[in-house]
Amino acid sequence: MSIFFIQVNMDDNNKSRRTADTAVLHITDLPDGLLVSIANYLAKPSTVLFAIAMTADSEQQTQTSKSIMTNHSWKVLDFSDIEKSLAAKLSDDDIDNILMNIDAVNNLHILKLAGCVNFTGSGLDSLSTATAIEQIDMSLVGKHESPLLDPEPLLLQTEVLPILDGIISRGRGSSLKQLEFPKKWRKAQSTQFSQFLERYSNYLTNKRYCCSKCDRVCTETGVGRDWIFRSNSSAFGTQNFTCSQCLNHFCSGNDCLEDGNAHSDWCCKCEKEYCRSCIAMNICGECDDGCFCQKCDEMRACEGGCGEVLCECCFEKLTCHICNRMRCRSCITRYNCDRIDCNKAICFDCVQSGDDGGDDRCGVEYCSSDCRHQIQESRKAASEGACLDCALDGTSLH
């Protein structure tokens, strides 16, 4: 019955009749309407790959592919919508074929290449003449994911930077608002990459993008006059003044703040800039560079009652391994073990109750008698003047 049903529909769509006696049915024998409906359940990258798979030499199958493609808008193409295992299999030819099929030069506004770790970048060549593209995210990771990749991606500066130069060379004829680069490039800080960042910063300056709040040119007000962070830090190569999600621009002028805070912040974990309307941020009350997306780092409130919230890195360092309470430095003094391979802490309350912590005679801070002995033996071996009595007597010396 099911074969007969398919054959009837094939007749309705002027497809070649096949019978169970003479041939095996193929997916391309299905009516276009059914294939379009199937594609509607797929993520956009998978939809394009599905349409490409439907493409063959015959005119009939080419029309099938077109029917699938025209049923979607191709302003945004985000590879984080598909499994990482599939994205990792895509080659430069695959990426090029995808961009050609969606007419990326004229249609694509946002391209996010999350998970595409095994292409070198030549597959982006068609974008060098793109007029509509506003954002290219080459960080190769999804939202709220660490930019560190292991193994490192194959994306090459020699392949990609000439393509990006082609885009920004159009000046005001280009729509580009934001670029995000692989951590691998930002960490290496090569001369070639640094020189491109200079050209890209000049391009953004000449575009005179304005703050979405005060409508003033972003680089002409407030602090931080450069579009690109180029200080020797983890933020190197990331873009200033621009939300990674909505692409709105924000200045940091003192008269354009909200509740005393900037409209956008840079997350120390995913290393991306977000405006407060798109992503809620938490600021760690302990560390200097402690601003995190709420979805990147679940802050923990200080148990001393001061109301401060601390990031994951800080509350691990400030949690006493004896009483398991986490309190900020303002609420209580603590010792952090001087032993190199021990990161435990002990609060002053536990020290007072006789649970080790520090030795005034030696200047050693330790979390337990065992660690104290190992520290002192290490100092003794290095001829650093360790006190033998303190190292070996086995008693608490608070």
Averaged over successive runs of 10 residues, the pLDDT of the chain (398 residues) comes to: 33 45 62 73 89 66 74 92 95 95 94 97 95 96 92 96 96 95 96 97 93 85 75 88 93 67 78 88 72 77 81 79 83 74 77 58 65 68 53 36
Q: Structure tokens of 136?
A: 């290219």
Helix ranges restricted to H, the chain: 2-12, 32-39, 44-54, 59-69, 84-87, 92-101, 104-107, 157-168, 183-188, 191-207, 312-317, 348-352, 369-381, 388-392
Q: What is the pLDDT of residue 389?
A: 44
Residue 206: how many other CB atoms lie within 10 Å? 11
Q: What is the pLDDT of residue 98?
A: 94
Q: What is the pLDDT of residue 23?
A: 59
Burial 331-355 (b: 16+ CB within 10 A, else e): bbebbebbbeebebbbbbbbbeeeb
Q: What is the pLDDT of residue 364?
A: 66
Q: What is the pLDDT of residue 133?
A: 97
Q: What is the pLDDT of residue 380?
A: 63
Q: What is the pLDDT of residue 258?
A: 63
Q: What is the pLDDT of residue 21?
A: 45
Q: What is the pLDDT of residue 11?
A: 43
CB 176 within 8 Å of CB 133: yes
Q: What is the pLDDT of residue 395?
A: 37
pTM of the model: 0.75
Q: What is the pLDDT of residue 28?
A: 63
